[in-house]
A = this chain, B = another copy of it.
């Protein structure tokens, strides 16, 4: 059993690892961060640090033996890394969650296998099958690499005028799928947690706005119908249960409005704390970071109650230069990730604003 005083190992040294490490410390745990990059943001709040490649088996074994459980901040943990860690300690979320979320084809197959709507998709292995897929799904469609896509990377739109074969070449002819266009009105997400014993708790549905393919603002409540909110929670729970999931999970969904009625289509899942859950830090009774630590340790989940109407805005690149104005704003919660260089597109921090709920 994991108790206060134990050590939680975290793969990845970015802002998610950093905020998880602080949540662990709050609960009396030690955090040990494993990351390849020197000066990783999470190192500043970690009791222990390993700087090594994710492929360094000896370092992984030492790390696994030094901690009581391992979790991670990113879904692209190599399967060999997960296997090595699992051989020596607990890994949560499990290897299946990683495998499914790392590969768009497996992910969509898995989710649609649960009877949950996903965007229409087709796999292909050669030009002829690609042409056939475009024929079948129509245009516009999106060509997406099966692996390593995030924040709009690894994607090309197939417009009426696009040559699909050239589009695939742009992606280096990496294994990919074609996704049919979903005429969505908005993007929403569920951030939820599940424990090994099956306890499940979800935060209220979030509405997400992106800029340049990067999350810009999350708003809660999402402003959908009660039935849609209930359905989103059902979807998240079905996915978490089917994966025997342990930890915080995000399910990104498209909200499609047709003839005044709403339906949900799963876009993708993230087996980790998620940017669209950052609002919970200061905006909910229990933050997603604390919730993840509780789940991973097998502890009772915390209350997901919302403290008001909440808006979370990412501070990307030089947005973070506004830190002093944000500090001067009554009630704004500023979070900066301690990154030295404000490169364009880099997530430097976020700000959460909590307003009294409209009556």
Contacts and interface: CB of A to CB of B under 8 A. Distances in A.
Interface of A: prevailing SS = mixed
B25 A323 contact: no
A188 to B, nearest CB: 25
A331 B305 contact: yes
A333 B86 CA distance: 31
Contacts of A47: 43-45
A4 B299 CA distance: 34
A327 B286 CA distance: 11
Nearest to A307: B307
> How many chain copies?
2
A22 interface: yes
Contacts of A338: 4-5, 25, 28-30
Given A307-B307, A331-B303, A336-B4, A44 B30 contact: yes
Nearest to A294: B327
B300 A336 contact: no
Contact of A340 (B5, B43, B285, B331): B5
A255 to B, nearest CB: 30
A151 B274 CA distance: 43
Given A4-B320, A4-B338, A25-B44, 13 more contacts: A5-B338, A21-B45, A27-B335, A28-B323, A30-B338, A45-B46, A285-B333, A299-B324, A299-B327, A300-B324, A302-B330, A303-B330, A307-B307
Interface of A: 3-5, 18, 21-22, 25-31, 43-47, 285, 294, 299-300, 302-303, 305, 307, 320, 323-324, 327-328, 330-331, 333-338, 340, 349, 354
24 contacts: A4-B336, A5-B338, A5-B340, A18-B25, A22-B25, A25-B45, A25-B338, A26-B335, A27-B334, A28-B323, A28-B336, A28-B337, A28-B349, A29-B338, A30-B44, A30-B338, A44-B47, A285-B354, A294-B327, A299-B324, A300-B328, A302-B327, A303-B330, A305-B331
